């Protein structure tokens, strides 16, 4: 089944927040932000004369609690006194036109008392500025392990952040209703918006309705950070009693919102024979100025600290450090990629030191069924070796060409790297693994499906429509996936953790089962036994049949309930944060990639050429969507590895806060060859219809892009070992080769 949004996307008919028809009298708002990275507000001059000015709202205008922190209450919606980052919201300008709102913003002057900022996570840690507590995962015996090693190396990894660059910027449209508010929000977390808006206004949650049609991309950037935007729009509606639109322009979006977390890490790795015997890693996460989702992101870094390898002795330590940057947040992979990059760097380092191919060390240490991860869960249903062998088989020729090329070229070199991935599927916060759905069958037989799932381009609505219509043996046109709305699907977890379709698809099927049971009971009274729903009909074992339309119409007249609520919660998962052990994931998604690249070593220019992927997606549910997620995820990850360089100056100002200074992947940058193969595997019981989650894992294949470029560079001149910095931009390639 094709993505149901495909046609409306390419014809420009898909509707996003800024495309909504506006109600007469709609007001427009923009956000006034902090001019310093750290300071105190001395005064705000808002004595402004402008014909279109409606109001300027500050912290004092918040009727409820000025607090948006989800995990830790440490973040104000609008800064009341202290300023923690350049770009932090201080006030909302509400005007009759958008242009006027910008004009008015320029007329406001904010006086501040500047304080010393901190931007470096290690410096923040030394000053005691940490968020939550330090965490440590342990396995085996780290006291004796090092003595048993033949070779040990140590090094350092610096990992940059990444801008989400969803095409649709953050935005919301808030409307006053008779006794509350409705907000149309570009959010991955409708319930978060509802909960925090209620807190800001001092109202019960039932007075706030949140509605989401779709997002023009979220990538984690709208899991938490769509909330304040929606809250500001609602606050302005609350004050003015008028509809208010707040859609950030690109520059404001880049300035105000947090990004992927930069990390600074130290590693020590030891080998005994061909086995990785001991691994010690310390992660300093740069959280920015508020907790946001950072503690959860940090935890996932630890979960993926050993990636796809079995290492018997491990100590993985991590801390979240508070700095004066925008609060960093969820981004595809959610801290997992940073964990994986460090172990891959350690493997690259020790392999180069020993003079063996890093791929040999990777291959020799792949985790297998029953092997324990440092967090206590054991690997199961592992398909890494199969995937590895497939990729190896598919790339024999490519690797031979690389060797020939390097033998005959002096200044241009080719490189390659393998990347196995093992990604845990479930929210690491066990309680979040739940979803609800509402399935309505109308009198004419058409079906309205509501769940907590948010469509952000990943195709979740397509998958849900596919499984629901299949369930009743109907063509897809019978079903429609409704907007995600907090009055139809309640207490939803954000659409995130790659778990959206598993959780919400299963909740929808639960509702479908209830309706089918009622229909079966109704049919059995009419002499139908062992009914199957197929090809638009209900068919009994003895061949009696009734069309779906006839059945629904008759069931309605007989007063059968044709609507059902469905619910799903992932079984068997748990995690004990005291012991740092448990079984946090329903299952793992596995796969292997090989990426090749060419580096012009005279000028320092890289080009990713081939990507080969062999992926375990369980029993395939929709390979079109899976391929889209794999290709998109890898290209997005390659951008992070090779192009995207976030630069904050010594005042904490984002100097890469525009698309002329922040380079993102485009179609020309994308690899010329992209081959994806899926493994034939048994159905995955904990996935939707036997499939596996696909949203985030493929991004991490792109880590091979970084190592393939380094491999090519090493063919020209051996790089400093134990010193890994991401992104490997062209500028950096040049500097590392010659500086
Ligand atoms: N794909 C598109 N096109 N747009 C997105 O915003 N977000 C990614 C991934 N793929 C995203 C995407 C992230 S961060 C997650 S967690 C998953 O999709 C969420 O959807 P899923 O849970 O249905 O996989
Ligand atoms: N992944 C994504 N988002 C989350 C998670 C997670 O594991 N936990 C809380 N929010
Ligand atoms: Mo995805 S980072 O879990 O929204």
Spell out which residues line ligand 2, taking CB within 6 angstroms. 223, 293, 296, 300, 330, 334, 427-429, 432, 496-497
Determine contact, residues 575/583, Cβ cutoff 8 Å: yes
CB-ligand 3 contact for 335 (6 Å cutoff): no
DSSP state of 673: E
> Over the stretch 704-722, which tens digit does the pLDDT of each residue have?
999 999 999 999 999 999 9
Ligand number, closest to the Cα atom of 300: 2
CB-ligand 3 contact for 332 (6 Å cutoff): yes
Radius of gyration for the chain, computed over Cα atoms and rounded to the nearest angstrom: 27
The residue whose CB lies within 8 Å of the most ligand 2 atoms, and thus the one to mutate among 330, 336, 423, is: 330
Residue 240, pLDDT score: 98
Tell the residue nearest (CA) to atom 4 of ligand 3. Answer: 220
The whole-angstrom separation of Cα 211 and Cα 184 is: 5
Residue 47, pLDDT score: 87
- List the structure tokens of 439: 């399935």
Whole-number Å distance, alpha carbon 434 to ligand 3 midpoint, is: 16
CB-ligand 1 contact for 629 (6 Å cutoff): yes
The whole-angstrom separation of Cα 342 and Cα 346 is: 6
Ligand number, closest to the Cα atom of 499: 1
Q: Which residues, in sequence order, are CB contacts of 557 under 8 Å at separation 6+?
A: none
Q: Which residues, in sequence order, are CB contacts of 644 under 8 Å at separation 6+?
A: 160, 162, 163, 662, 663, 664, 727
User: Which residues of the chain are under the pLDDT cut of 70?
Assistant: none
CB-ligand 1 contact for 695 (6 Å cutoff): yes
CA–CA–CA angle 264, 268, 270 (5° rounding): 155
Ligand number, closest to the Cα atom of 589: 1
The whole-angstrom separation of Cα 724 and Cα 156 is: 6
- Transcribe 504-562 into DSSP letters: HHHHHHHHHHHHHHHHHHHHHTTT--S-EEETTEEE-TTS-EEEHHHHHHHHHHTT---
Q: What's the CATH code, domain 434-569?
A: 3.30.365.10
Bridge-based pairing of strands 171-177 and 180-185 is antiparallel
DSSP state of 705: H
Ligand 3 atom index nearest CA of 331: 2
Pick the closest to residue 691 from 620, 625, 587 (CA basis): 620
Burial 37-50 (b: 16+ CB within 10 A, else e): bbbebeebebeeee
Q: In this structure, what are the phi and psi dihedrals at residue 341, rounded to the nearest 5 degrees?
A: -60, -40
Determine contact, residues 311/278, Cβ cutoff 8 Å: yes
- List the structure tokens of 362: 């990777």
The whole-angstrom separation of Cα 163 and Cα 498 is: 19
Burial class (CB in 10 A: 0-12, 13-18, 19+), 711: buried
Is the N-terminal amide bond of 727 cis, ω within 30° of 0? yes
CB-ligand 3 contact for 217 (6 Å cutoff): no
Q: Can you list the positions of beta strands (E) in 204-253?
A: 208-212, 244-247
Burial 374-405 (b: 16+ CB within 10 A, else e): bbbbebeebbbebbbebbbebbeebeeebeee
Class of domain 6-116+164-256: alpha beta
Phi-psi region of 379 (alpha: psi -120 to 50; beta: other; left: phi over 0): beta
Tell the residue nearest (CA) to atom 2 of ligand 2. Answer: 497
Q: How far is CA 734 from each of CA 361, 417, 600, 607, rounded to the nearest angstrom?
A: 28, 20, 9, 14
Ligand 2 atom index nearest CA of 493: 10
Whole-number Å distance, alpha carbon 16 to ligand 1 midpoint, is: 17
Residue 305, pLDDT score: 98
Dihedral (CA of 539, 540, 541, 542) sign:
negative
Whole-number Å distance, alpha carbon 689 to ligand 3 midpoint, is: 22
Determine contact, residues 509/468, Cβ cutoff 8 Å: yes
Q: How far is CA 720 from each of CA 339, 488, 645, 723, 736, rounded to the nearest angstrom?
A: 21, 57, 21, 6, 8
The residues annotated as belonging to the active site are: 696
Q: How far is CA 493 from each of CA 215, 218, 484, 489, 630, rounded to the nearest angstrom?
A: 16, 15, 12, 10, 24
DSSP state of 493: P
The whole-angstrom separation of Cα 528 and Cα 162 is: 59
To which residue do tokens 């968020």 refer?
A: 131
What does the CA dihedral 74, 75, 76, 77 come to, rounded to 10 degrees?
-150
Topology (CATH) of 263-428+577-738: Aldehyde Oxidoreductase; domain 4 (3.30.365)
Determine contact, residues 434/493, Cβ cutoff 8 Å: yes
How many Cα atoms within 13 Å fall on the side-chain side of residue 454?
34
The whole-angstrom separation of Cα 320 and Cα 322 is: 7
- List the structure tokens of 404: 């020939």
Determine contact, residues 187/197, Cβ cutoff 8 Å: no
Dihedral (CA of 176, 489, 450, 7) sign:
positive
The whole-angstrom separation of Cα 426 and Cα 433 is: 7
CB-ligand 3 contact for 223 (6 Å cutoff): yes
Determine contact, residues 706/726, Cβ cutoff 8 Å: yes
CB-ligand 1 contact for 497 (6 Å cutoff): yes
CB-ligand 3 contact for 497 (6 Å cutoff): yes
The whole-angstrom separation of Cα 277 and Cα 365 is: 10
Domain with CATH 3.30.365.10 in the chain: 6-116+164-256, 263-428+577-738, 434-569
């Amino acid at each position: 089944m094709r993505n149901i949004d495909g046609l409306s996307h390419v014809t420009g008919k898909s509707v996003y927040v800024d495309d909504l028809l506006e109600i007469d009298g709609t007001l427009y708002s923009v956000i006034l932000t902090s001019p310093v990275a750290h300071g105190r507000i001395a005064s705000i001059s808002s004595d402004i004369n402008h014909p279109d000015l409606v109001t300027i709202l500050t912290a004092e205008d918040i009727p409820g609690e000025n607090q948006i922190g989800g995990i830790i209450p440490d973040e104000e919606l609008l800064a009341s006194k202290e300023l923690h980052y350049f770009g932090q919201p201080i006030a909302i300008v509400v005007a009759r036109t958008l242009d006027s709102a910008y004009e008015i913003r320029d007329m406001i002057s904010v006086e501040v008392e500047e304080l010393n900022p901190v931007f470096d996570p290690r410096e923040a840690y030394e000053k005691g500025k940490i968020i939550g507590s330090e965490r440590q995962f342990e396995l085996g015996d780290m006291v004796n392990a090092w003595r048993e090693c033949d070779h040990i190396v140590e090094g350092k990894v610096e990992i940059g952040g990444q801008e989400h660059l969803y095409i649709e910027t953050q935005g919301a449209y808030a409307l006053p209703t008779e006794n509350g508010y409705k907000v149309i929000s570009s959010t991955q977390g409708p319930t978060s918006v509802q909960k925090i808006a209620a807190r800001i206004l001092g109202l019960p949650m039932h007075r706030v309705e949140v509605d989401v049609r779709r997002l023009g991309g979220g990538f984690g950037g709208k899991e938490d950070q769509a909330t304040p935007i929606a809250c500001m729009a609602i606050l302005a509606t609350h004050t003015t009693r008028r509809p208010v639109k707040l859609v950030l322009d690109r520059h404001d979006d880049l300035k105000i919102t947090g990004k992927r977390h930069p990390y600074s890490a130290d590693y020590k790795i030891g080998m005994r024979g061909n086995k990785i015997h001991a691994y010690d890693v310390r992660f300093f996460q740069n959280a920015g100025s508020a907790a946001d989702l950072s503690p959860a992101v940090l935890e996932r870094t630890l979960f993926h600290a050993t990636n796809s390898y079995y290492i018997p002795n491990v100590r993985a330590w991590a801390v979240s450090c508070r700095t004066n940057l925008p609060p960093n947040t969820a981004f595809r992979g959610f801290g997992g990629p940073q964990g994986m990059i460090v172990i891959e760097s350690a493997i690259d380092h020790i392999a180069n030191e020993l003079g063996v191919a890093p791929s040999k060390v990777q291959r020799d240490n792949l985790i297998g069924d029953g092997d324990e991860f440092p967090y206590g869960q054991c690997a199961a249903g592992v398909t890494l070796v199969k995937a590895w062998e497939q990729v190896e088989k598919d790339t024999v020729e490519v690797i031979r060409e690389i060797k020939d090329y390097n033998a005959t070229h002096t200044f241009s070199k080719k490189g390659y790297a393998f990347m196995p991935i093992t990604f845990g599927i479930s929210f690491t916060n066990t309680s979040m693994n739940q979803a609800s759905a509402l399935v309505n069958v109308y009198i004419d037989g058409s079906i309205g499906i509501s769940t907590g799932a948010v469509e952000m381009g990943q195709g979740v609505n397509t998958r849900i429509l596919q499984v629901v219509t299949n369930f009743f043996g109907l063509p897809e046109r019978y079903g429609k996936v409704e907007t995600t709305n907090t009055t139809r699907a309640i207490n939803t977890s954000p659409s995130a953790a790659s778990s959206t379709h598993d959780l919400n698809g299963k909740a929808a099927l639960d509702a479908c089962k209830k309706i089918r049971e009622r229909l079966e009971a109704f049919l059995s009274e009419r002499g139908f036994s062992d009914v199957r729903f197929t090809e638009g009909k209900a068919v009994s074992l003895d061949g009696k049949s009734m069309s779906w339309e006839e059945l629904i119409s008759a069931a309605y007249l007989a007063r059968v309930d044709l609507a059902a609520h469905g619910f799903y919660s992932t079984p068997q998962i748990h995690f004990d944060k005291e012991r740092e052990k448990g079984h946090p994931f329903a299952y793992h998604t596995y796969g292997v990639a090989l990426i090749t690249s060419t580096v012009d070593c005279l000028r320092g220019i890289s080009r990713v050429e081939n990507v080969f992927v062999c992926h375990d997606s369980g029993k395939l549910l929709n390979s079109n969507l899976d391929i889209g997620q794999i290709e998109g995820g890898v290209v997005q990850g390659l951008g992070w590895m090779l192009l995207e360089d976030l630069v904050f100056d010594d005042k904490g100002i984002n100097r890469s806060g525009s698309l002329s200074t922040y380079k993102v992947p485009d179609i020309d940058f994308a690899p010329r060859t992209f081959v994806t193969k899926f493994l034939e595997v048994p159905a995955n019981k904990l996935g939707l219809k036997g499939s596996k989650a696909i949203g985030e894992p493929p991004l991490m294949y792109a880590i091979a892009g970084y190592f393939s470029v380094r491999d090519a560079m090493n063919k020209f001149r051996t790089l400093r070992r134990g010193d890994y910095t991401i992104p490997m931009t062209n500028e950096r390639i040049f500097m590392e080769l010659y500086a």
